[in-house]
Amino acid sequence: MMNRNSLATFILLGLNVFAFVWTALGSESLMMNSQLDVLAILHAGANLNPFTLGGEPWRIIMSMFLHFGIFHLLVNMFALYSMGRMLEPEVGPVRFLMVYFFCGIASGLFSLLFNVYTISAGASGALFGLYGYRLGAELIGNFRDRKGLNAVVINFIIFVVINAFITTQFSVDIAGHIGGCIAGLFLAVLQHKLGLLRRKRDLAIVLVLIPFSLFALPKDQLYYYRIFQRVLKAERYTNQLYRNKLTDFQIKDSLVAIVPEWDSIGRSLHALQRIPSELRADTANLANYVKLRRLEATFRIALIEHESYVYLDSLEIVDKEFDGILPFQYSLNYSPPEAEAEETKTTEDPGPALETRRVFYDAAWKEIEDPSASVYYRIGSIDSLGRWQGQVYDYYRNGSIQMKGKYLDGMKNGVFLYYSERGRYASAGRYVKEDAVGKWESYHWNGALETEVYYNNGAFTKSVMDSLGNAQVVNGKGKAVSWHPNGQIAEEGSYYDGRREGDWFGFHEDGKPYYHELYRDNRLVHGVSEDKDGKRYVYDQLSQYPFPVTGMKAFNEYLNKNRRVPDSLKNESGIVKVIFNVGVDGSIWDFVVIKSLSLAHDQEAIRLIEKGPSWRPGLLHGHIKRPSQGYVEVIF
């Protein structure tokens, strides 16, 4: 049966249990120790500096009735029951409640003042206050019951030991505990030593006024928290851009809108007048993070605006700097984790297993075994079929980068950046399954932009510049001139509507005529060249491409005569398209299937080409053999 002398104690017990049941209904477990449970308690009313000082002062009361799990509740309720049964009959239920709330509010104020972003909840602060109040009263001598004093001391020691154990298991508000205890001792001294606040009315007035001290507390954590929330908001906005199906220019316009916000956040960080010592490292870290996010947005804007993939290198540098940012000690994201997008079904074929490889090549990009004889080497991932997959890096023999690009099933498929041995850009653009698409840029030896060519059902040369940056071709029209290192003109000709048109002339380094070529709509119609020895060559467009030495008709007859596939696949018909390298000596290698029929058909197509007639490489100006890319369609 409830003792009327302990009515306030049982009311407090009931309120705490009710609040626990209310929060436990939506929790993951009664221990409430998961991130989601802690966040749920925070949003239910736990005490946290930027929340309480940011316009929610009611938290300083509400937090006294919330607990982090059943164990936390049971320890505090046992202490409340024990202390209440001893103290309430001595002071009466009304004064007991006022002492309880006075100590609990003081505990919350101490927590706000001395903690840095600690989520505080529980009756512990008020209970430490009750123990402090009772101990103070006993020591001052108003209560003569020494047995009672011994019981208080023993219970207090047990309570402290249990809370010390809880501290090792969970994040416990020690400042709040100390503050509550000090508030209890202080109140005991005022009442029982100095004779102040003895009347309930006086204590009630103080109890009403004490929460107003919230307005006097420093707002440094609140100001930093608000800046941090702006960072999170800007970050979520930016990340959402890439989840939505927006065009590049829609993304660019959105990024242009967010850059001023990154600038404003940076200014707000620098304008902080007082930074708690615990936050100084995080503040410097956050300022660096904001600077990098602004830089990242700026580079992405430039990439889209100029359609220049060289900015990917700048973004790569920014990404590496992001990796160097230390974890924040106080990550102030108190929102529940966003629901992740539905993952791809695990039943889908994960694809062939990948193996990281380093492969060495000679000057013609033919694979060799001897690293000492290599001119280039490649690092990337190869699947079980020997195809390059994902990001691939090519290097010159000295270790400087030659190319960065992405492959899909052995085909160039993504952005490619090429570099000269000087470490400058050579060209940059994008492939889709071996086809150049969009804007491609090429660069002079000194890193200056040379050409801008757009690929879309053909090539459109928009701009040509000399090595000093002077425009020669603008918007597809103009005369392009290039020079030999000794200053002699090497080539000159006109572009019309982005294509080579009319007569183009080439010259040897000594100034003598080299070739005269006629173009129509970017196609070589006719060419005549004369090498340094005076030998003359006549050629047309076909000479530019590799060709079976027996001729295309005889090559197709060879394919039709020698095709063989397993009987089980003979009813399958279709075309296998293969590309491959053709060296200056006519050798062929590095076969890539760009249109597949089946693995058996693909392998048979490669076998036919590999074992078939020899190839003649492509010829530059009718006589200079150059490495080329062959193309064959095998019909089954």
Tell me if 48 is assigned to some domain: yes
| Other CB atoms within 10 Å distance of the CB of residue 141 | 10
Query: Exposed, middle or buried: residue 81 (CB in 10 Å: 0-12, 13-18, 19+)?
Result: middle
Tell me if 416 is assigned to some domain: no
Tell me if 510 is assigned to some domain: yes
**Quick one: 528 and 553 in the same domain?**
no
Tell me if 488 is assigned to some domain: yes
pLDDT in tens, 72-86: 899 899 889 988 988
Out of 520, 539, 558, a domain closes at 539
Write the single-letter amino acid at 404: K
Q: What are phi and psi of 46, to 5 degrees?
A: -60, 160
Per-residue confidence at 50, pLDDT binned at 50, 70, 90?
A: very high
pLDDT in tens, 320-341: 999 999 999 998 999 876 544 4
**Quick one: 88 and 21 in the same domain?**
yes
- Give every CB contact of residue 226 below 8 A, 6+ residues apart in sequence: 50, 54
Length of the chain: 636
Pairing of strands 449-455, 459-465: antiparallel
Instruction: Provide the CATH number for the domain around residue 119.
Output: 1.20.1540.10
Q: What residues are paired with 582 via a beta bridge?
A: 588, 628
Active site residues: 124, 177
On the question of pLDDT at 178 being above 50, the answer is yes
The whole domain housing 92 covers 4-216
CA distance 135 to 87: 11
Out of 216, 242, 263, a domain closes at 216
Tell me if 147 is assigned to some domain: yes
Write the single-letter amino acid at 262: W
What is the pLDDT at residue 342?
41
CB 330 within 8 A of CB 281: no
CA distance 430 to 28: 48
DSSP string, 126-177: HHHHHHHHHHHHHHHTS---HHHHHHHHHHHHHHHHHHHHHHHHS---HHHH
- Give every CB contact of residue 363 below 8 A, 6+ residues apart in sequence: 375
Tell me if 415 is assigned to some domain: no
Average pLDDT (230-246) is 90
CB 171 within 8 A of CB 101: no
What is the pLDDT at residue 31?
77
On the question of pLDDT at 347 being above 50, the answer is no
**Quick one: 233 and 209 in the same domain?**
no
**Quick one: 157 and 79 in the same domain?**
yes
If you search the block for the tokens 């512990």, which residue do you land on?
Answer: 124
**Quick one: 206 and 226 in the same domain?**
no
**Quick one: 169 and 51 in the same domain?**
yes
**Quick one: 275 and 188 in the same domain?**
no
Sheet of 628-635: strands edge to edge? 588-595, 575-582, 628-635
| Other CB atoms within 10 Å distance of the CB of residue 239 | 10
Token digits of residue 334: 């108190």
pLDDT in tens, 83-118: 898 889 989 999 999 999 999 999 999 999 999 999
**Quick one: 201 and 235 in the same domain?**
no
Per-residue confidence at 569, pLDDT binned at 50, 70, 90?
A: confident
**Quick one: 119 and 18 in the same domain?**
yes
Average pLDDT (357-373) is 94
Q: How many Å separate Cα 406 from the centre of its chain? A: 19
Query: CA 7 → CA 4, 84, 91, distances in Å?
Result: 5, 9, 12
CB 216 within 8 A of CB 50: no
Q: Is the Cα torsion angle 94, 98, 101, 103 positive or negative in sign?
A: negative
Of the CA atoms within 13 Å of residue 393, those in its CB half-sphere come to 10
- Give every CB contact of residue 557 below 8 A, 6+ residues apart in sequence: none
**Quick one: 17 and 155 in the same domain?**
yes
CA distance 202 to 98: 11
What is the pLDDT at residue 345?
44
What is the pLDDT at residue 113?
94
- Packed helices 93-114 and 124-140: angle between N→C axes, nearest 10 degrees: 120
Out of 502, 518, 539, a domain closes at 539
What is the pLDDT at residue 338?
58
On the question of pLDDT at 150 being above 80, the answer is no
Tell me if 426 is assigned to some domain: no
Quote the number of domains for the chain: 4
Give alpha helix (H) positions in 324-386.
none
**Quick one: 41 and 164 in the same domain?**
yes
Average pLDDT (450-474) is 95
Tell me if 365 is assigned to some domain: no
- Packed helices 93-114 and 200-209: angle between N→C axes, nearest 10 degrees: 30
**Quick one: 32 and 147 in the same domain?**
yes
SS3 325: coil
Pairing of strands 425-432, 414-419: antiparallel
Residue with the larger pLDDT of the pair 30 and 579: 579
What is the pLDDT at residue 336?
76
What is the pLDDT at residue 352?
60
